[in-house]
Amino acid sequence: MLELYYFNWKGTSDEFNEFADRMRGIIDGIDGVDFIGIFLPTSEWHYVMVMKATSHDKCLQVLGTYLKKYGKWKTALGKIELLHTFEEIAYKPNVRD
């Protein structure tokens, strides 16, 4: 599954770079989660951080670890979106050739 964490940043650019480095470090230490990157979406959100994970719990572990270690990050607002494959939810679509 892919987990997309959309957020609006309210800190400085240096603080953002520090946040991104810290998140990469935490993700690297948790089995079952891969850091895909931080992107600029074409929406109202400033950024979207994308992680590939074996479960939502793994991504929650990333966010919880950050909060315990560094405290709240400088976001004004955030949203989490989960993208599952058909196989992950055991759904077999009726696809025509």
pLDDT tens figures, 28-75: 999 999 999 999 999 999 999 999 999 999 999 999 999 999 999 898
Helix/strand/coil percent split, the chain, to 5: 30, 30, 35
Contact 34, 55 (CB under 8 A): no
Contact 56, 1 (CB under 8 A): yes
pLDDT tens figures, 1-32: 999 999 999 999 999 999 999 999 999 999 99
pTM of the model: 0.83
Provide φ and ψ at 79, rounded to 5°. Answer: -150, 140
Q: Which fold has domain 2-83?
A: Alpha-Beta Plaits (3.30.70)
Contacts of 27 (CB under 8 A, 6+ apart): 33, 34, 35, 51, 62
